[in-house]
Amino acid sequence: DRKREALAAGSTIQPIIKDVGEIYSRLLDHRPVIQGEIRYFVKEFEEKRGLRELRVLEKLKNTTFEMNNHVVPACEQAMQDKLSEAFKRLQAANDMMHRVQQREHEERKLQAEKQLAREEQRVAQWEELLQAQESKRAEVDAEHRRALERLREQYTDMEKELAKYGAF
């Protein structure tokens, strides 16, 4: 405004410019009004917000207090109960697994003993079979020798018989 006034000071246009400036500031320059509205809005917002935040903080404090005094101990107790029960179940399962392993170990030991007994029985049967084969072979060999002796005697007798007739 001052620059405009300085430029128009020496002319007759000065009252007109002053009136135009005044009209402009009233109709088009809303800065003072906007600044007032902004100050009012900020003041209202801070007051209402401050009370709202205070209420929110109070609720949080109450909730935290209730959690610390009621919910957390109840959760700890429930957790202890469940963990104790789970530990007992795990202990029982561990005992059962140990018994099953013992039975399996005994079963394997019994199977190994049975297999060893069967192996010893097979070895004994094999030795019996070899002895039986040996005795049969000895019998067959003896029978064969006797048969050879009979044949030799027969052929010797036949040669003697032939020798008698050979003089013809």
Listed residue (81, 85, 59, 89) closest to 73, CA to CA: 81
* pLDDT tens, position by position, 50-64: 677 778 788 988 988
Task: Copy the structure tokens of residue 118.
Answer: 């069967």
Whether residues 157 and 115 share a domain: the answer is: yes
Matching residue, tokens 């509205």: 37
Whether residues 56 and 116 share a domain: the answer is: yes
Burial 118-145 (b: 16+ CB within 10 A, else e): eeeeeeeeeeeeeeeeeeeeeeeeeeee
Task: Copy the structure tokens of residue 96.
Answer: 């059962």
* pLDDT tens, position by position, 107-138: 999 999 999 999 999 999 999 999 999 999 99
Cα–Cα dist 42/51, whole Å? 14
Whether residues 19 and 32 share a domain: the answer is: yes
Task: Copy the structure tokens of residue 70.
Answer: 């009621």
Whether residues 118 and 41 share a domain: the answer is: no
Whether residues 55 and 120 share a domain: the answer is: yes
Cα–Cα dist 132/138, whole Å? 10
pLDDT at position 161: 84
Whether residues 34 and 115 share a domain: the answer is: no
Whether residues 58 and 16 share a domain: the answer is: no
Whether residues 80 and 147 share a domain: the answer is: yes
Query: 66 is in which domain, residue-wise?
Result: 50-166
* pLDDT tens, position by position, 64-94: 898 888 888 898 999 999 999 999 999 999 9
